[in-house]
Structure 1
Amino acid sequence: MGAILLLLCILLQALAIESVGPLIRAGSSLAFVRLCVTSSDYDECLQMSKVANQTISCVRARDKYECMKLIIDNEADIVNLNSEELYLAGRLYNLEPFAMEQYDGDTQYYKSVVIINNKANINSMSDLKGKRSCHGGLNSTHGWDIPIGLLLATMTMSPDCRGEMYSVSKFFDQSCAPGPWSSDSGIDMELKQLHSNLCAACQNSTLCSDTDEFAGDEGALKCLFSGYGQVAFTTSKTVERFLLSDKLDRLERRLMNNYVYLCLDGTKVPLDGKPCEWAHKPTNVFVTAGSRDKRDKEWFLSYLQQLFFRFVPYKPSWWRMKSLFSDPMHVTQILPVPTHLQRWDRYLGNFISSIEKPLPLCELNSVTMCTTSPEEELKCFDLQKAAFSQRLRPEIDCKRRASKQECLELIAKRQADLVAVDLSDLYEAPQAIVQQLEPVGVAQGFSDYAVAVVRADSGIKFLYQLGGRRSCHASFGDLASWLSPLSVLTERSLLDQASCNKADQMAEYFGGSCVPGAADLRVNHYRSGSDKLCAACRGDSEGVHQCERSSSERYHGQAGALRCLVEGAGEVAFVSLSSLAGNVDGRSQERWARNVPLALDSRNFRLVCRSGPSMPLGDYERCHLTKLPGKLMVGTKFTSKEDRLAIRQLLIRLVDKFATGTERDMFELFGPYLNKSDLMFDDSTRRIVPMKLEMSTFDMAIRLHFDPSYQQIPITNKDANCKIVLTTTSAAAAQSLISGSLYALVVLLNCLVCLMAIVSSSTLSQNLNLNHRYTSNQ
């Protein structure tokens, strides 16, 4: 019998698939529907298109935000959006909802309601001021965002221009808004100490966690009914479930008469009456361009309805893709959006206030990110809009400058707040700039490595054998090809750890090098060792622009350093593993590489290890110089503790929303953008680890998150010709014994010892500037 039923199901499924195409085309001038889907759903969409007889075309997009642009550009027809995404699509692009999901038989996910103690003398929204409030959680849309947004929008709650948490603290006497306020435990604790009033009405006001008795939707009611609060913000369904449950004894049920719904107009409704909502969250909608003809919208709706009902009993594997329906287990119908609601603002109604949370009469409170290219700036502004729609505050602003150095200068002047930089960018920055900066966070992701590459027939097997050999580097100050070998050679005592000039030491250690930029005063101050560091460079095809830090020098960049090795100008190339892998075995896109395909066979190269003999390229995990660190998020340290916390919390929430959370489908924070790589962040970034306020020094960031050898690298003074570096051991010992100004004195004494040694050997330059920034343990 079971086998017969299974066969019947298969036959019915086949009939459904065969009948989709002809039915949906009847009476329509359109050949197919172009559904925009995110990359993660694209393969499943292609399966759906195949079984639907190609009547639906899948348009691949990076995220929902790109889908909105594709619809405006007439490269796609429709996309499924939630309420926050609809806010963005309607406000920015005038996309209109035409079909909505029915979710568990309803067209609203929930209704946000307000319950008050009828004896608390509350007869209007303004009477809530000075009362004790129960929210269920700080990150609850119905328990926090909707009521706070409406209280601000109606000017019932006077805005504190520092932000909504300050505004709420001033408005209510005490509150319970438990739960994790930040996914970083340190930031979470700092925020709760700063805004302790928002935890004061919780049962455990110290922890104020999501395990609190008053956490969650029902927790907000318990907070109210237990007398800790006088007003609770929750959902109508929660109230109905709670009253029907066995959680109330007879006495408590009689006391329910003391509680009522508070409506927006100040009227009150008994709990057993019809709830008056402050706002509701509507279900997902399908949107299309506002300029679309009415008949097109009707046809799109008809298509979706037929597609839904043909497959809903059997649910093939592609049914679960979120780009089609929000939740295939709970969506019960596809309905037309009523004509009077076919505008984004009308469809969302009061829910808009939960997103905008206006602070009228306040100057814009923003975090300004510095960018260095038009594409990066465009991504920043797109992130700004996506973040605003997800209620992330402070708002993001964007400024563009020509280089990372200019961005660092802008931050030092407090005209911008954040920029992502490599350690090499700090290496080049002047003392006056670096002293005003601090690491806000450290980007982490898939590992890349700095490697030393030699030809397999070179006879070089060990690191110490590189002495006297010709070397190839991407550029002066580059992380993988300059700082990494510099740090490892210093750590291995192949370079003097107390040397006052690493550039001269590198020049003397190798037997001639190509380090593009070594003669550039902007990066190699006083051009230390530049003759030898530029000796292996060749310039362009006419022999000019030799050793320039640009593509005019044929050996500039990661691919250029490898070319330097392949063409015999050098005997070792220092590059990143990712660039090496992208240029061997026929993968290189460089023109010069086409002429030497055999020379770029990976079997012709070996890696020189940090310790031990050389190995094939495939053994990079065991044989590399350093694991390359991610970018540092850098800000100014000369700002208030509150602002420093706000910036860190914004970074954390950006990652939580757009990198690891469900909103990643809405906007993807990391990865290629507009077919460009490494905009704002490295593509490989997966998270950003915030630096604790009391540990926000570059020394500490390097010690905690970088390869230990990087502690040998000074973050140099741009105007310095002498750079003192303490050994890892001595610096750690010094810091364990002394701190503050005394530690600075020890560093200064080390510097003086070094200077005296230099004077005695008659190598001290007459123009030596003694006003240096000496950095230890970096």
Structure 2
Amino acid sequence: MKNLCVLLLFCACAPLVLLQGPGSGTNGNLRLCVVEGRGPLKRGAAFCPLLDEEPSGLECVLGTDQLDCLRRISKGTVDFGVFSPEDLIASQWANIDVLVTDELRSRFRPYERSIVSVVNRRILPDRPSSLDFVLRNTTLCHPGVGANDLRPLSDTLAGYLESLIIPRACDPNLTLTENKIKAVSNFFHMACKAGPWVPDVERDAELKRKYPSLCGACANPACTVHDKYWGPTGTLQCLVSNAGEVMWGELDDVNFFFGLNTTSATSDPYPISKQYAFLCRDGTWQPIENNLSPCVWLNRPWPVVIAKRKAAAAVSILVGSIKEDDLFGTHWRKALTALLEIRQVPTPLNPPKTPLDYLASAQGFREAYSQSGCDPPRHITLCTTSNLERNKCEWLSEAGAVYGVNPPLQCIVRNSTRDCLQAVRGRECDVAVGDSEWLMPSTRDFGLEPLLYETTPIVEKMDTVVAYVRKTDMITKMEELKGKRAAFPQYDGIAWHTVLQYLREKEKITCAGAMTGYFSDICAPGVEAVKGDVSQANIDTFTNGCIKNDGVVSGEVAALQTLVEGKSDVAFISMKTVNLYQNKQIIESWADNIIDIVPICPEENKKYCYLSWSNIGHIFAASNITDMRRHEIVNVFTKLDQRFGKHQPLHNVMFTMFGPFNHVLDVLFHNNTKSLSTANIFKMHPYASMPLNFERTILQDSTDSCQITDLARDSAFNFAPTFLLLASCLVITIIGS
């Protein structure tokens, strides 16, 4: 009887099981991962609801970027999505088990792009010869490289084409980028390689002065993107104007330029096309005219649909069922074509292929991403402070490698920012990331300096130090803060040193006077963590008014809480923290009741109202590294920023450098970062007109600082000798004693 009940229960449930779809969504719905991109058109918001309104069997999941979607597919939380061939390279390197089910072509041909080489026939020898023999000491028309996938060439593809004819250069005294530039300069007699060679403007100008022959064939020696020989069309103009003798370009551009393979019965081929020929990778050549399938150096495949292996069959059936009428319909199938960005009926792969097998059919493409590097290999090692940060760093490294960012990024993990700064000083790694609170310790205690800054042009989002008070206390001037209770986010941070500097200059007092006589009480979290013989009485002096929760709580929100709860009279915190509080974005019970808090503006800065400002993040490196290594670090991170930062508003980027990672904000870098910049940023608007910058003034003037023992009015203040303050205070205290 028991067995019969089990059998009946199984039979009753069987229909439900059969109705369950193969996807990871509700009732087995297939989940599609959609990346919105940064353009004004939000496909997900426009079309995803249409999938829910009808029985489509589909659900949308919004991904941060392409690699986020790949990670979701790998974890099984989504089933399929649309990806570029570069994304497939990343999935292959990350060992993500997926299958390519369909190509999404927009034209009736096997590859999206085909790269060819066109040469002036006058350089061709009488018989087929090696590429070296044909091209050495000729003049190159280079399309330039850029952040676009192929228009112009990416660093990876351009480097691959160059590697087919130019011996690798590995001078240890030059950056890898300069090695490549020098090799091209030595191989060709002259070239027009217009546009930026590296993102940093000063370094770009320096390299162009050092290798002028690579700009010698340009229309203008400035060699910029505004040169008439820059880009796909400019490269062809360079060739036919006899400024150069050889070029790489897209077959479509060549055909259009010379009037070849057109459907117009009245069109005549470019009259001088017979002066040029297609150069092949084996050193042979072919005529341009009447050549329907010329020799190609490299093919770039179409975007594709990929799916996790378990759902691949169902996805293949779904996408394969799309008809031409669906592109113009009004039901959920039209929404699906819009979400997949389909322009013509998809081309199925029967059976579905692994990314490796799919890419193998495109000549040169996979090989471009498997080039060997210099020996010994070089890396830029970044220190992270958590497994989540390291995970993001490793995905950033994968994405950078796909787009030819060299040297590649390596990632290590340490327990804290202080440990990372120590690791940089000890040469265990090259760089560490830290916010403005670490500016003074990094330079003073570890001998580091910021090579790059995480910048934002919005003052309210910068790291600012503002004196905030309760409006009901009627405090309107800085001098009225004397005798009040003060709260700092942390000891030895930007607010701490900013206020010390201000009091020293305005009140003409020493460190001892500022710390033990000016304020009636001070909350400075971090005192309790100072190494050395620090008595509990001394710790209590600087932490009695702090927020405590299993220890002293540090940070801007904690300093703000002391002000809101009446434990302090002034909190030296940033505009952005107060904005979070006023907009009810601090999810804590004490922040439910909003009270009026107002800033006190110093007399010398009524416009902005802050005591100092700094950039929101910094990439620290040892101050004594070589110029070559400095250039290499700056080049790697600015290229990563150029490719994966916020510079491509209409492009679905492979990876988001400044954005959520695994649903967490401000991982490794800040979400508010607009770009990574060198110190040149301080010469530009709006930064150049903003007074009281911490990095350029207080930090540079205060790399030494007085010890805590110099603050003592009596022997009760016997802090550890490593507990440091401002250099100027040290001099004054010593003289005064």
Q: 2:698 maps to what in 1? A: 713
Residue 374 of structure 1, CA deviation: 1.6
Q: Which residue number corresponds to residue 547 of structure 1?
A: none
| Cα pair 1:445 1:687 within 8 Å, conserved | no
Q: Which moved more, 1:384-393 or 1:143-152?
A: 143-152
Residue 130 of structure 2: aligned partner: 124
| Correspondence for 2:77 | 75
Q: 2:249 aligned with 1:234, yes or no?
A: yes
Letter in 2 for 1:132: T
Per the alignment, residue 656 of structure 1 pairs with: 642
270-279 or 658-667: bigger deviation: 658-667
SS at match of 1:201: coil
**Quick one: structure 1 residues 79 and 146, their matched pair in 2 at CA, closer, same or farther if it must change by over 3 Å?**
same
Query: CA offset at residue 275 of structure 1?
Result: 1.0
Counterpart of 1:279 in structure 2 is: 298
Residues in 1 aligned to 2:641 and 2:346: alpha-carbon distance in whole angstroms: 33
What residue number does 1:427 align with? 440
Match of 1:100 in 2: 103
Residue 505 of structure 1 is matched in structure 2 by 514
Read off the aligned partner of 2:295 and give its amino acid letter.
Answer: C
1:607 is aligned to 2:570: no
1:536 counterpart = 2:550: no
Moved more, 265-274 or 178-187: 178-187
Flag structure 1 segments of 5+ consecutive residues without an equivalent: 1-24, 247-251, 541-550, 613-619, 725-749, 764-778
- Cα distance in structure 1, aligned partners of 2:317 and 2:688: 58
Q: What are the equivalent positions in structure 2 for 1:573-722 lying under 5 Å apart? A: 573-582=571-580, 588-590=586-588, 593=589, 601-603=593-595, 605-611=596-602, 625-627=611-613, 629-660=615-646, 661=648, 662=650, 665-692=653-680, 704=688, 707-708=691-692, 710=694, 713-714=698-699, 716-717=702-703, 720-721=706-707
- Give 2:287's match in structure 1, choosing from 270, 273, 285: 270
Matches within 5 A, 1:394-473: 394-429=407-442, 431=444, 433-434=446-447, 437-444=449-456, 446=458, 447-448=460-461, 449-473=464-488
1:162-311 equivalences in 2 (<5 Å) = 162-163=176-177, 164-182=180-198, 184-204=200-220, 206-244=221-259, 256-272=273-289, 273=291, 274-289=293-308, 291-292=309-310, 296-307=311-322, 309-311=324-326
Indicate conservation of the 8 Å contact 2:44/2:339, yes or no: no
Counterpart CA distance in 2 for 1:679 and 1:271 is: 52
Quick one: distance in 2 between partners of 1:467 and 1:27?
A: 71
- 1:333: Cα distance to partner? 2.3
Deviation at 1:231, TM superposition (A): 1.8
Q: 1:28 to 1:689 in 2, by over 3 A?
A: closer
The one of the two structures with greater contact order (alpha-carbon pairs below 8 A, sep at least 6) is 2
Residues in 2 aligned to 1:270 and 1:376: alpha-carbon distance in whole angstroms: 54
Q: Given the alignment of the two structures, is residue 157 of structure 1 paired with residue 167 of structure 2, yes or no?
A: yes
Normalised to the residue count of structure 2, the TM-score between the two structures is 0.78
Question: Alpha-carbon deviation of 1:720?
Answer: 4.6
What amino acid does structure 2 have at the position aligned with 1:680? Answer: L
Question: In structure 1, the residue corresponding to 2:675 is in which secondary structure?
Answer: strand
Task: Map Cα deviations across residues 495-537 of structure 1 (whole Å, 9 max, x no partner).
Answer: 54xx4x3x75233210011212235545x9999x957851634
Taking the aligned partners of 2:151 and 2:533, their CA distance within structure 1 comes to 55
Aligned runs of 1:372-411 on 2, under 5 Å? 372-411=385-424
> Is residue 382–residue 430 contact of structure 2 (8 Å, CA) maintained in 1?
yes
Q: Which amino acid aligns with 2:297?
A: W
- Give yes or no for contact 1:112–1:279 (8 Å, CA) kept in 2: yes
SS in structure 2 opposite 1:165? helix
Structure 1 residues 567 and 141: alpha-carbon distance in aligned structure 2, compared to 1, 3 A threshold: closer
Q: For the structure 1 residues 624 and 209, does the alpha-carbon distance in structure 2 shift closer, same or farther, using more than 3 Å as the test?
A: closer
Q: Secondary structure at the match of 2:344?
A: strand
* 1:758–1:148 Cα change, 3 Å: closer
Match of 1:729 in 2: none
- Asked if the contact 1:441/1:690 (under 8 Å) is kept, the reply is yes
1:263–1:429 distance in 2 versus 1, CA, 3 Å: closer
How many equivalent residue pairs?
A: 664
Q: CA 1:227 to 1:146, structure 2 compared with 1: closer, same or farther past 3 Å?
A: farther
The RMSD of aligned alpha carbons is 4.2
- The 1:515–1:147 alpha-carbon spacing in structure 2 relative to 1, beyond 3 Å, is closer
Offset at 1:470? 1.5
| One-letter amino acid matched to 1:418 | V
Aligned counterparts of 1:533 and 1:368: Cα–Cα separation in 2: 41
**Which residue of structure 1 lines up, in the alignment, with residue 265 of structure 2?**
none
Whether the 8 Å contact between 2:440 and 2:493 is mirrored in structure 1 is no
Inter-partner Cα distance in structure 2 for 1:68 and 1:350: 25
Q: Secondary structure at the match of 1:103?
A: coil
* Residue type at the aligned position of 1:676: V
Q: Secondary structure at the match of 1:337?
A: strand
Equivalent residue for 2:12?
none
How far is 1:99 from its partner? 0.6
Partner of 2:234, secondary structure, is helix
AA at the equivalent of 2:385: T
Please name the residue that 1:38 is paired with.
Answer: 35
Distance 1:286 1:574 in 2: 52
Q: Could you tell me which residue of structure 2 aligns to residue 560 of structure 1? A: 558
Q: What CA deviation, in whole Å up to 9, does each residue of 1:406-441 have, x standing for no partner?
A: 33343344443333323331312464633x535333
User: Which letter maps to 2:473?
Assistant: S
2:722 counterpart residue number: none
Alpha-carbon distance in structure 1 between the residues aligned to 2:556 and 2:333: 42
1:391 deviates by 2.2
- Structure 2 counterpart of 1:602, one-letter code: I
- Aligned residue for 1:59? 61
Q: Percent identity?
A: 21
Output aligned runs, 1:726-741, within 5 Å. none
User: Cα deviation per residue 1:274-309 (whole Å; 9 max; x = unaligned)?
Assistant: 3111111111100012x33xxx53542342354563
CA displacement at 1:321 relative to structure 2: 9.8
Contact 1:143 1:233 (C-alpha < 8 Å) held by counterparts: no
